[in-house]
Structure 1
């Protein structure tokens, strides 16, 4: 197996001087976690997407945002209004994922930066934060999620730009494979990560896994019915059944082997 056959993070709370690394020195300190919202922080509302596609008269195979952006400029406002109206109704039915507050409280206590990167508009995100997060998560200071990247930011997922924006706000720098090769003195550098950010992307969809991988993050998939294929997708690094399962994983330190 080549020298760089995986990557990972030191246990949460490890001091900056901690030298307990993997044999090939690939464990680093976690700098932040980016979360998707719908289906990740809150329970899935799959009926909402069916309603959106019905309103736009497009099949499941067509991406909603790409479809609207492909319309003539004059037709886009009406199409976006249909989507916003459906989201406005659906947000009243939002339910938090099991283990949400427990995980967020742990991360806040450990001063792990948290952000949201979602394809939703701002109103459903604000509604979720006000009803399920604000005032319920203790241990941190200021906003629990900062930044919050919504659909107003372009390009949307699966493009990695939203995750890169979170990294920019946090002043987290990526490490390119060529940088790693020079540092390790390895002539045989392999791995699925063309670039590496010391961050995690948590989501429930192919867009989340694709954007996280392209951005250089370790990707964590939250299991959901009907998306079992993503559990073995090459862009998925780790799979959890509940959000709070991440607590013990992060306490022990996370390691992801390269998928062949």
Structure 2
């Protein structure tokens, strides 16, 4: 699927989900929410990346996925991928859910809001998290590093695929992307979606980024925001090309 052009700065708004406020807003309806996984649904496991680079024998400045793609043979790429999977499978045993995770998902289920995942994790640790912490909740589709034919974030292809699967003809215009990284914010913004940054000790510099529409400290903060109507800001003052 072709990538979308970058969208200009705009204030993103959605109508309230509360039945009591229906008809009180001219804002467009929210059609669904796309979530990142590591650092968003579960607490960050940033130590994985140094372990992955150590397993691959690469410097901390080298992008892991780009390194794997650059390897000369399919056998080399498969071997490197298996090393990454081994690190993720070990880390998944220590996954902890984000505060407010179940409360938010129960609310979205009650309000019949569609939910999907778009992550650079492999499928096994993603399913492990869902089975152990969200067994009563469905996410469709689930886009992982193993989904064929789709470039990973920050490319918007995964989010655009989700919008297409949901039958949305206006790309991501009626969606929200929730994540904790610049890749999440850029993928969401470029797909036309509103973006929500889940703050942690390492991503505060993204608060005022062009691609960040709203910031929260806990997932369940979204409940009141969506009940009363989502209103993002106009964009920050950080040049997105500087990252």
Which structure has the highest strand share of the two? 1
2:10, 2:125 → 1: CA distance? 40
Unaligned ranges ≥5, structure 1: 22-26, 136-142, 176-195
1:8, 1:159 → 2: CA distance? 23
Is 2:45 the counterpart of 1:69? no
Deviates more, 1:48-57 or 1:77-86: 48-57
**Post-superposition offset of 1:7:** 2.6
Native 8 Å contact 1:33 1:113 kept in 2: yes
Show the counterpart of 2:33: 33
1:147 to 137, 141, 146: 141
Is 2:202 the counterpart of 1:226? yes
**Post-superposition offset of 1:14:** 5.0
Native 8 Å contact 1:200 1:218 kept in 2: yes
**Post-superposition offset of 1:226:** 1.5
1:68, 1:80 → 2: CA distance? 7
Native 8 Å contact 1:173 1:197 kept in 2: no
Please give the secondary structure, in 1, of the residue aligned with 2:117: strand
Is 2:52 the counterpart of 1:20? no
| Superposition map of 1:245-260 within 5 A | 245-259=221-235
Please give the secondary structure, in 2, of the residue aligned with 1:8: coil
Is 2:86 the counterpart of 1:85? yes
Please give the secondary structure, in 2, of the residue aligned with 1:257: coil
CA RMSD, 1 decimal: 1.9
Unaligned ranges ≥5, structure 2: 1-8, 238-243
1:102, 1:19 → 2: CA distance? 26
Could you list the structure 1 runs, at least 4 aligned residues long, displaced by more than 6 angstroms after superposition: none
Kindly name which structure, 1 or 2, has the bigger radius of gyration based on alpha carbons: 1
| Superposition map of 1:236-251 within 5 A | 236-251=212-227
Show the counterpart of 1:159: 155
Aligned residues: 225
Show the counterpart of 1:121: 122
1:61, 1:258 → 2: CA distance? 32
Show the counterpart of 2:167: 171
**Post-superposition offset of 1:5:** 5.1
Show the counterpart of 1:203: 179
Native 8 Å contact 2:214 2:233 kept in 1: no
